Amino acid sequence: MPIPPALLTPDLSTPTDVRLLHSVLHNPGIPPTSTIEAAKRLAAWTAVDKHVLPEHKVIGIGSGSTVPYVVERIVAQGHEVNKDRVFIPTGFQSKELIVNANLRLGDVDQYPIIDVTVDGADEVDHDLNCIKGGGGCHLREKVLAEAADTFVVVADYRKNSEVLGTTFIQGIPIEVASFAYAKVLQNLHLIGSPKAVLRMAKAKAGPVVSDNGNFIIDAPFPAEMMKDPYTLLTRIKMLTGVVEVGLFCQMAKAAYFGNQDGSVTVKWHDGRVEKYNCCIDLRQYVRYLCSHALHWLRSQFAFTFRSKSPLPSSAVERCHHPVWLSVGSTPMDTIVSMHRTASLVLLSYNALMIMSRVYPHT
């Protein structure tokens, strides 16, 4: 039985850090609760497994909604692998992710050469040209992409296009000096983007201000011009007042797209397209939860499960069967915390039993 879209994950048999397991067991937001979020995680985890290797010591962390899953998978590689690494952020979001994950924070000033940078994208075409900057971080993102020996893009299936501008229709993000925005807007109107507008903030009055103190213009261009993004990038970049353009041309080595069916499509810079099937069986996922929850409990406390009577044969009755947790002299608040984890183990066990009846070859 293939995994439902809401539970799609890469192979969970990979050794995982105990801290990540603990967060998985206690965070109701994991696994992802939508097909899109599951696709993002698939892409991020697969890209990290393929490109963020133990020998890589300086790693760039991009921005966007897929990047938290990148950091999640890096943390899962374990403390021994990460203790000698330095992580370079592209903005405030990725800086917070690095700090909150207890990874070592660095700066591109200190490490101008990066082993690998993993970042999201707003849209990617068949040649791996990207639109980036929906989050307003494309200046720093481009600096880290250029500094990296390997630049890898991760996204969900909605970002995979033949021509840029197909799905990301709000336009190319352009960071401009604040005092020059009016003149840049006028010039963009003249070179083919009559609908270019200054990006306005939603939670404050006035325009969006980037991490660098600049304004951002969103400039949509006709499809014919978007078919040659490198030429368009050059024309925009030559406008006085433009700081950086959210077109990333001829930079990415590979782009990973998580799909709705649990697979990952990989586009390479040399034109190759590969597809990885990352689905696991739901029963395998439940076994994973059971075994690792028990492993975590045993690593923290000495405990035993005991029952007043044999487990009933009915899986439904088993859900309500009293199982007692014996924990020596452990403080009560710790027992309560452990009970939450134990409850997950029991629920997972009961789910596995139910599935074993439906699928007797488990």
pLDDT at 191: 96
**177 within a domain of the structure (yes/no):** no
148 and 111 in a single domain? The answer is yes
pLDDT digits (tens, 9 = 90+) for 226-255: 999 999 999 999 999 999 999 999 999 999
User: If you average pLDDT over each of 216-220, 297-301, 343-347, which comes out highest?
Assistant: 216-220
pLDDT at 276: 87
DSSP per residue, 225-238: HHTSHHHHHHHHHT
pLDDT at 335: 46
Tell me which of 260, 277, 294 is where a domain ends. 277
273 and 330 in a single domain? The answer is no
For residue 31, whether the previous peptide bond is cis, meaning omega lies within 30 degrees of 0, is yes
Distance CA(304)–CA(322), nearest Å, equals 14
**340 within a domain of the structure (yes/no):** yes
**Residue holding tokens 């603990």?**
22
The conformational region for residue 136 under phi > 0 = left, psi -120 to 50 = alpha, else beta, is left
**49 within a domain of the structure (yes/no):** yes
Provide the CATH number for the domain around residue 253. 3.40.50.1360
Which comes out higher in pLDDT, residue 322 or 206? 206
**155 within a domain of the structure (yes/no):** yes
158 and 293 in a single domain? The answer is no
257 and 353 in a single domain? The answer is no
Range of the domain at 310: 282-358
28 and 80 in a single domain? The answer is yes
**140 within a domain of the structure (yes/no):** yes
**29 within a domain of the structure (yes/no):** yes
Q: Binning pLDDT at 50, 70 and 90, where does residue 168 land?
A: very high
97 and 75 in a single domain? The answer is yes
Which own/partner pairs from 46-49 qualify as long-range (CB within 8 Å, at least 24 positions apart)?
46/10, 46/256, 46/258, 46/264, 46/266, 46/276, 46/278, 47/118, 47/152, 47/154, 47/254, 47/256, 48/73, 48/74, 48/77, 48/118, 49/10, 49/14, 49/73
Distance CA(168)–CA(184), nearest Å, equals 21
Strand 148-156 relative to strand 130-131: parallel, antiparallel, unpaired? unpaired
pLDDT at 277: 82
pLDDT at 139: 96
Catalytic residues: 141
Q: Which residues pair with 209 in a beta bridge?
A: 215
**312 within a domain of the structure (yes/no):** yes
pLDDT digits (tens, 9 = 90+) for 288-312: 556 666 666 666 555 444 444 555 5
pLDDT at 318: 45
pLDDT digits (tens, 9 = 90+) for 308-344: 455 555 544 444 444 444 444 444 444 455 555 656 6
pLDDT at 262: 87
80 and 110 in a single domain? The answer is yes
329 and 272 in a single domain? The answer is no
289 and 348 in a single domain? The answer is yes
| Number of domains forming the structure of the chain | 2
Asked if 175 and 218 count as a contact pair (C-beta separation under 8 A), the reply is: no
**Residue holding tokens 């007692």?**
324
- Tokens linked to 260: 């709705």
**104 DSSP 8-state letter:** P
Phi then psi for residue 113, to 5 deg, are -115, 120
pLDDT above 50 (res 269): yes
268 and 354 in a single domain? The answer is no
116 and 79 in a single domain? The answer is yes
- Mean per-residue pLDDT of the chain: 80
Q: What percent of the chain has pLDDT over 90?
A: 64
pLDDT at 321: 46
Tell me which of 277, 295, 327 is where a domain ends. 277
Q: Binning pLDDT at 50, 70 and 90, where does residue 203 land?
A: confident
* pLDDT-wise least confident of 49-63, 74-88, 303-317: 303-317
Q: Which strand (E) or helix (H) includes residue 275?
A: strand 273-277
**223 within a domain of the structure (yes/no):** no
Asked if 66 and 152 count as a contact pair (C-beta separation under 8 A), the reply is: no
pLDDT at 44: 95
Q: Which residues pair with 323 in a beta bridge?
A: 307
258 and 343 in a single domain? The answer is no
For residues 45-67, give the mean pLDDT: 95
